Chain A
């Protein structure tokens, strides 16, 4: 048992206060009656109503969700393929370049990624819009998916796949019936990560969107530049709420699975 210390308790309290107080303030003031966001004038859900009637916001949200859904789905397929190639692919021509291209976008400043893609789209004469945002988001989020999936692939015993081949599977059949079910949690996590990254992205979308498509972050950014607005507070609260529910549920589910597994293993030991 580790010793309790006041120093540790204090760092945790202050640290989490620093992380959470700003978000809590946002949530609290989203229910403020007044348009002056820094002055409390009583409880109201008025700004949620205004937000839901604001067609420009709704349109932007719809564009964002469509972009995020399509790009994260393609990115998950491509990223899983890339991870499999990196971890299990053995040697092939240009492997170093390939792994470089997987890791580079993770550390690339968004302004550069955005600029480079925009210049590409212009030089090949592609009209900018939802399609170009999807291409851009797919490219950088597939790298994140690939990192998540390959860490899972590395962690499980290769001989499970060999056993499938040994028992008569073709390589594709082995992937479908053994590898895929085993990496499924990572593939799902990768999809969620790609989806979130796409929902969240301002810089790359600003470069690649063009005038015809506006995503939610672009919309938020342009209205936030004018200062704090109660509608944005309401929108933030909704987004924070969705993420909180998602993350808490996911961690509860995974905790329950761990507990269940430990119980199973204990019972298995007893029947031996």
Chain B
């Protein structure tokens, strides 16, 4: 691991500290529904105060993993421990885990106040302390003036906050959030992401969030587990997931990426070269984990790391020539789709820090694309 950042004193990274014991441990957990394997031999550790995201396409098993933490599903094989205690056979109502449901699952016949107090009334908390706690939760989620309303009398964003307040009221060890922002519109979602992070920091609760929205996972999470077909593909910080994906799947799932397939040859200094088209110069890039000499591999590079220029740059190993096929103008950035002689299309992104009228390239222009040796990765399969 060449590019691991050095942990500063203020950085929160318990997963790097061998002295820390994780709060949650999945050990060889498998879950089958009939013939269908929803979770396939998953090992995972989550630490106290983490904001941990389970990210993947629908049907990848992320929700099942979360429902096992809540106690709604039991593992077919393997062991799940929370705080060192084996959770097998412990029903949901006896776990110090609360969940915020995707549909919010607010009790429609109870007021906002009663929804939040619902869990407290069933806990050991003395009756006279409940109003104070409910009030604290209402304040935390800025819902004070809606306490007497029924769920259908408040807006979607407010319902989302009631669901959060209700789940947090019992001060659980672990809070599970199932697509918590899925029902909100784009603008409200962004604002709520920051609120969630703020509340997580204030309450110092461990959060596990399930989402299919990579941007959301990247924004809120301290670490992200990318899942596919019941398996955990990669667990890392958002930055490292983006910069050093461990597989073509992860690279492709997170953000926009160019993919070129070819045969790999390993080189010294952690580099690899990829022969991808007859007559074209080989691509040189950082070698990913588990790469085998001579095997098929994929070269991945983010569009923003591909430079576009009218003249051939002299200082780089990786230079290809192509013709502009399409330009997507997105305001702050532009994406150029450049067709190489072999028919391959590479996306290159530039920041529009000049006015549009002074843009240098247009459709059908012949241009040079280039990138440095460390800009992209060669990954197995």
Contact = CB atoms under 8 A, between A and B. Distances in A.
Q: Per the CB under 8 Å rule, do A and B touch in the complex? A: yes
B101 A159 contact: yes
Interface stretch (B118-126, B282-290, B324-332, B361-369): B118-126
A264 B72 contact: no
Sorting the interface of chain B by its residue count into under 10, 10 to 19, 20 to 34 or 35 or more gives: 20 to 34
Interface string A151-165: 000000101101111
Interface stretch (B19-27, B149-157, B189-197): B149-157
Contacts of B93: 165-170
B103 A159 contact: yes
B157 to A, nearest CB: 6
Interface stretch (B104-112, B224-232, B267-275): B104-112
Given A159-B105, A178-B107, A167 B157 contact: no
B83 interface: no
A264 B158 CA distance: 14
B155 A182 contact: no
Nearest to A162: B72
Interface string B287-299: 0000000000000
A237 B43 CA distance: 73
A268 B159 CA distance: 10
Given A181-B109, A268-B152, A272-B155, A162 B98 contact: no
A59 interface: no
B366 to A, nearest CB: 52
Given A163-B99, A168-B123, A268 B155 contact: yes
A107 interface: no
A159 B102 CA distance: 9
Nearest to A181: B109
Contact of A167 (B72, B155, B166): B166
A165 B73 CA distance: 13
Given A159-B105, A166-B98, A268 B153 contact: yes
A268 B105 CA distance: 18
Interface residues of A, number: 24
A60 to B, nearest CB: 41
B259 to A, nearest CB: 38
Contacts, number: 79
B153 A264 contact: yes
Contacts of B102: 159
Nearest to A170: B93
A245 B63 CA distance: 50
B262 interface: no
B139 to A, nearest CB: 18
B99 A166 contact: yes
Contacts of A162: 70, 72, 92, 99, 101, 105
A268 B146 CA distance: 10
Contact of B122 (A167, A182, A267, A271): A167
Contacts of A167: 93, 98, 118-119, 122, 166, 170
Contacts of A173: 122
A264 B108 CA distance: 13
Contacts of A163: 99, 101, 105-107, 166
User: Which of A157, A159, A163 is packed against the most chain B CB atoms within 10 Å?
Assistant: A163
B153 A182 contact: no
A268 B92 contact: no
A125 interface: no
A162 B104 CA distance: 11
Given A160-B105, A165-B93, A178-B107, A272 B123 contact: no
A218 to B, nearest CB: 42
B341 interface: no
A261 interface: yes
28 contacts: A159-B101, A159-B105, A160-B105, A160-B107, A162-B92, A162-B105, A163-B99, A163-B166, A165-B71, A165-B91, A166-B93, A166-B119, A167-B93, A167-B98, A167-B118, A167-B119, A167-B122, A167-B170, A168-B122, A169-B93, A170-B93, A178-B107, A264-B153, A265-B152, A268-B149, A268-B153, A268-B155, A269-B155
Of all A-B residue pairs in the complex, the 3 with the closest CB atoms, nearest first, are A272-B155, A167-B119, A168-B122
Given A165-B93, A167-B166, A167-B170, 14 more contacts: A157-B105, A160-B105, A160-B106, A162-B92, A163-B101, A163-B166, A165-B72, A166-B99, A167-B93, A261-B152, A264-B153, A265-B152, A268-B155, A269-B155
